[in-house]
A and B are shown apart, each in its own frame.
Chain A
Amino acid sequence: MPATAEAAAMGQRGIPPRVARRAWTVPALSAVLLVAVVTSSSVGSVPISLAEIGALLLQRLGLATASAAVDTHAEILFAIRLPRVMLGVLVGAGLGLSGASMQGIFRNPLVDPGLLGISTGAALGAVASIVLGGKLAHGIPPALAPYVLPAAAFAGALVAMMAVERIARVGGRMVVATLLLAGIAVNALASALTGLLIYVSNDAQLRTITFWSLGSLGGATSRTVVATAVFLGIPLLLLVRYGGALNALLLGEAEAGHLGVDVERTKRTMIVLVALIVGAAVAVSGVLGFVGLVVPHLLRLAVGPDHRQLLAGSALLGASLLLGADAVARTLVSPAELPLGIVTAALGTPFFLALLLRERRRLA
């Protein structure tokens, strides 16, 4: 029986539920993200009602003049809340998507974006700027001070990525196993150097390092969002289109080659894109665990392993989850704030475990 006829016959008998869900993945998750964006724009230490947000937005865009809003609310919304929500969308989408991509390239669901040493490299850059920044920063104008750490972190990520990529390339081919080991080596070296910097740091620097490494979206300003949109947003848009190639790679590298995928080029480009995304994400928000590893899993459990849905879906779900976690982080101990990394791990893990146990029972 020809393949199309078989598919048609199956369609009549009833499509498996995971397949049926696929068509709805991206629209449904887009709707979830929209709700997350609107909700998290409204909650915080200073709650701002949805009606007020609408009025303020119209006013800012010049479509309305009068406003019943409390005066400080406009400033909080535009200077702090919206940049933070935008940054959360970008970082969450970036982490979810890089996680899904890495798991696809390595054909291993235990891989997360941290594995290539990119986050550790970024952390090394950030810690270096915290510990050595005071001595080196005298020539830097105060206006640029907020950008020293992100720039250093991003540079650290790129150096780590280049080192890993160079080590893993043998005669024009990138061997996935070597890539993994190179990542482990770079991870270890960067951790050692970070440890050395921690050793020479003073008490105040040490606390800054600790809190930075727990992650936060609190530093979002309009400028960081624009910079992140460029350094993270563009690679994100390029990476989300690799679903078809990853599906082919699931069959094996040789098979993917026969299907017409330029395997080496695909792997190399994807890894560079992942490095750009993770580097930018760590630079602006610190190390946020859980999202990159678990979001693709959640989605795979729901809609199956088709990367065409998985990549875009992981980006959307990652963004929604990070926004939700950040809303909790900034309201739970208000007027102070919990580090975001704690919230993502503490809220995400039980949820993930519950889902895993349920699915395990179903599969058994």
Chain B
Amino acid sequence: MRVRSLHMFLALLAVAVAVLSACDRAPVKPREDTPAEARIVSVGSAVTETLFALGAGDAVVGVDTSSLFPDAATKLPKVGYQRTLAAEGILSLRPTLVLVSDEAGPPAVLEQLRSAGVRLEIVGAELTVDGVKARVHRIAEVVGRDPSKVLAELDADLTRARVEREKSTTHPKALVLYARGGGTLQVFGRNTTAETMVRLAGGENAVTGFDGTKPLTPEALAAAAPDVIVIPSRGLESLGGVDALLKVPGVATTPAGKTKRIVPIDDLLLLGFGPRTGKAALELGAKLRADGEGK
């Protein structure tokens, strides 16, 4: 009995190894030519936003779950979360190009896509203003579009944000929260995307004690003493609105809590570093100053 099963496993393994080594010897050439009808699977919110901003939105046939802007993108088939992509699902959309942020993965799936002969392009996911511009350039080049209009608009917005920032006399200390349901509040510390955005908007990060994000504690809140609390709107919803946030221990006693200066802002606008980054800086700046100068 066990000898028979042994033989079966040996046979199975032998077949597997034979078939697979046969596959290995037949590398598939990526299709570099641009066919009449491009079909793009876009992974990463910034990648998707950039594609649509460049006017290539019509060619997008699938996006990842983080691509929530523009609305047209949300109506497309979803290929899953960007770090747990599935090669087969992507291939079932018959893409001519798979454009992913360099956060996409797992690496083995990217390798599968390459070995299936699909053109795979990886775009830097650097979360800075330079990163935004580099992304626009790169994606425009890959899909053969002119980036100048998008870049000009971005630069104009960023310049306006800088003018506003320099004109303003106040530089509110902002604390940026990240919420996913009650009980899981995170604070953005130094060297975070949120800090970059707050600075572009003319504020300062109230949190200076640590790098990266950390769970929120009442002590940390008191130490930061923020004038304003900025929170991504979807996060605020998951928490249960402004009133629920004010009930989080420690929030009510901060200057921001006492004056109820809670600023919700669209998640992807604030943290997505897509082509709307200039607009995000303008909007956040206006919100940071609006209440403050009124008092």
Contact = CB atoms under 8 A, between A and B. Distances in A.
Q: Are A and B interaction partners?
A: yes
Interface of A: 25-27, 30, 44-46, 57, 60-61, 72, 75-76, 78-83, 86, 89, 93, 145-146, 149, 202-204, 207-208, 211-212, 216, 218-226, 229, 233, 236-237, 240-241, 243, 308-309, 311-312, 315-316, 330, 334-337, 339
A224 B92 contact: no
Contacts of A236: 9
Contacts of B86: 45, 218, 330, 335-337
B84 A335 contact: no
Q: Which 7 A-B pairs have the closest CB atoms?
A: A335-B89, A219-B108, A45-B92, A336-B80, A312-B5, A337-B86, A222-B20
Interface string B55-95: 00000001001000000000001111101111111111110
Range class of the B interface residue count: 35 or more
A95 B24 CA distance: 28
Contacts of A221: 108, 111-112, 115
Contact of A45 (B8, B89, B117, B213): B89
B93 A335 contact: yes
A204 B84 CA distance: 11
A236 B13 CA distance: 11
Contacts of B116: 72, 75-76, 79-80
B94 A336 contact: no
A311 B1 CA distance: 11
A75 B1 CA distance: 38
A202 B23 contact: no
B202 to A, nearest CB: 26
Contact of B9 (A204, A233, A336): A233
B24 A222 contact: yes
Contacts of A335: 62, 77-80, 86, 88-90, 92-93
B211 to A, nearest CB: 10
A79 B112 contact: yes
A334 B86 CA distance: 9
Nearest to A142: B107
Contact of B2 (A45, A89, A203, A311): A311
Contacts of A336: 65, 78-81, 86, 89
A225 B20 contact: yes
B80 A337 contact: yes
